Amino acid sequence: MSNVVPETTVGMDLGDRYSYVHILDADGVCVEEGRVRTTPEALRQRFAAVPEGRVVMEAGTHSPWVSRLVASVGHEVIVANPRQLRAIYDNAAKSDRVDAEYLARIGRLDPKLLRGIEHRGETAQADLAVIKSRDVLVRTRARLVSHCRGVVKALGGRLPQCSTAAFHRKAWEHMPAALEPALAPVLELLERITAQIRAYDRKLETLANERYPETGRMRQVRGVGAVTSLAYALVIEDPSRFRTSRSVGACVGLTPRRRDSGDSEPQLRITKAGNPLLRRLLVQSAAYIMGPHGPDCDLRRYGERIAERGGKNARKRAHVAVARKLAVLLHRLWVSGEAYDPLRNSNRAAAATAA
């Protein structure tokens, strides 16, 4: 990404049916603006006619394929991070034309202000869609299970504790007869959803083994399975874009916000930047590591020290802290190819003390 002012800068506000473009010359004068249909044919024809330059668009549903298409006809493409575009959202005269002009003017003078993001390739995007579809089913199943439990509890009954995968079988035995017309279809749907989730799991296991061998290094960590490791590989995609493994924690939104002023350094929540699915999977893996079946390892010991400090939501903060450490560890295992030693830091500390 160069700070040299290009001969042509195009701001592009993407829409489902039409997108608005605002074209500036090297002096910042608008030479053309207007709408174009958001279809591959229309966009390819439109941008092939524009002199090669810089095209700026905001990250969104259409930006992955549109950015690839525009780059294929010779333009430099910057996909702006939405978090850096507060001026658009706060504009009292917001419109597609104004948004496109704002993107063009910022992209022309200092594109670094847009904190441009790199979209993954088309194959990686399609593979990640499999994980997202599985995630939708998992969350839907959890909501249906909660619904069944709530309805039964409201009539004085109680369904047994069990895994969500086994719920559709266990619930039948304790289902009040009066609720069978209401909940029988829900349990049948739960059975089908569970079967589909298992099919996704098998597909993701095969995908990880055959197409993404780096996930094998990550799965050395107990609590990290095919789904989490594959999501990590697909979201990060290129581990070399991070100068240090510690930078990954900020990328996935697991580092605290900062608002220091003078002597005030308040404790704030995490940024929640980056991919929410990967962040949720990392926290789930951290919860397993911290749970009753989790292994004795540096990650668990680190989380327990944080939990022992007490305070409000201490356990939840420990899970987030372990998830952040886990994100860093997975990157390190990926780029180094080292064998995972679960007690590496603890053994080093013990050896240093003994010496």
The 10s digit of each residue's pLDDT in 306-337 is 999 877 788 999 999 999 999 999 999 999 99
Q: For residue 211, is pLDDT > 60? A: yes
CA distance 105 to 6: 11
Residue 30's SS3 state is: strand
Task: Provide the pLDDT for residue 264.
Answer: 58
| pLDDT tens-place string over residues 61-80 | 999 999 999 999 999 999 98
- H-type helices in the chain, by residue range? 40-48, 63-72, 86-89, 96-109, 122-154, 167-173, 180-211, 215-218, 226-236, 247-251, 276-290, 298-307, 314-336, 344-354
Q: Which residue has the higher pLDDT, 271 or 325?
A: 325
> Is 90 exceeded by the pLDDT of residue 91?
no
Sequence ranges of the domains in the chain: 8-114, 122-211, 213-355
Which ranges of 237-343 would DSSP assign to H, the alpha helix?
247-251, 276-290, 298-307, 314-336
Least confident of 40-54, 81-95, 161-175, 338-352: 81-95
Distance CA 120, CA 14 (A): 19
When pLDDT is cut at 50, 70 and 90, the band that residue 114 belongs to is confident
Q: Is the pLDDT of residue 263 over 70?
A: no
Strands 30-37 and 76-80: unpaired
| Whether residue 103 has pLDDT greater than 70 | yes
Q: How far is CA 239 from the centre of its chain?
A: 15
**pLDDT of 327:** 97
Q: Taking residues 148-169, what's their average pLDDT? A: 93
Q: How much is the pLDDT for 87?
A: 62
pLDDT bin (cut points 50, 70, 90) of residue 350 is confident
- Confidence (pLDDT) at 3: 66
Q: Is 31 helix (H, G, I), strand (E, B) or coil?
A: strand
Q: What is the pLDDT of residue 109?
A: 83
The two structure tokens encoding residue 96? 């597609």
What angle, rounded to 10 degrees, do the helices at 122-154 and 63-72 form? 180
Q: In the predicted model, is pLDDT for residue 271 greater than 60?
A: yes
Rounded-to-integer distance, Cα 225 and Cα 211, Å: 16
Query: Degrees (nearest 5) of the Cα angle 149, 153, 156?
Result: 150
Identify whether the C-beta of residue 319 lies closer than 8 Å to the C-beta of residue 313.
no
Judge whether residue 134 has pLDDT over 60. yes
β-pair partners for 330: none
Residue 260: pLDDT band by 50, 70, 90 thresholds?
low
* Percent of the chain with pLDDT strictly greater than 90: 71
Q: Whole-number mean pLDDT of the chain?
A: 91
pLDDT score for 269: 83
Return the amino acid letter for 15.
Answer: G
Per-residue pLDDT, 1? 56
Average pLDDT, stretch 103-109?
89
Strands of 76-80's sheet, edge to edge?
30-37, 18-25, 8-13, 54-58, 76-80
Topology of domain 8-114, CATH: Nucleotidyltransferase; domain 5 (3.30.420)
